[in-house]
Structure 1
Amino acid sequence: MRILLLCSAGMSTSILVKKMQEAAQKKSMDAKIWAAPASQLHDFINEVDVILLGPQVRYLLSDIQKQAEPYGVPVDTVNPMHYGTVNGEAVIEHVLTLKK
């Protein structure tokens, strides 16, 4: 599963990405997880299975959902509590619900 986390600069979510990768490994998930600035979505839109938005760009949710719809890619925001506590396991669980 290819999971893209969008944020404002692509750096603030790097710690969460690492925790999500650890959580995915524990679940024996084959996952590629990375972060990028929301402005680079067009570079990745046809290469992802799920898009998550960091709290700092959640105002873009509607616009990004419209862009992802033709590709059948689910889009949602990361729960601010999970983001703030860097809870990679909870975010992975959320991703799994989006892909059901």
Structure 2
Amino acid sequence: MKSCITCGMPFEGNHANDIGLELPEGQVCKFDSVDGKLKSGEEIFEGGVNFFAQAATDGNRDLAIRLTRKNMQVLPYWKLHPFAGLEGPAATDEEFGAAMAKVLF
């Protein structure tokens, strides 16, 4: 399964055609790019927080921040291009699993 290298969103189902940018490292979704350029790590992080807050945490921003951090920390792109927002507490495996079970892509 192909997925966005910056947020992990799978390119399938309703999102099969949501590729917004091609980088040497892989494909980026249309939510993480604008005008043919990659958004900043901070912008992508905030988008992830907003997504998790709406889709998985009933508006719990602290948990959404930790979920986003956990999600982005494991993506190879961010291991090569870290930024300050990735530092700090991350969700536990249990919290992440529970959140992902609620997410409908």
Q: Structure 1 length as normaliser, TM-score?
A: 0.28
Give the structure with the higher percent strand: 1
- Which of these two proteins has the greater Rg computed from alpha carbons? 2
Greater RCO, CA 8 A, separation 6+: 1
Q: Structure 2 length as normaliser, TM-score?
A: 0.27
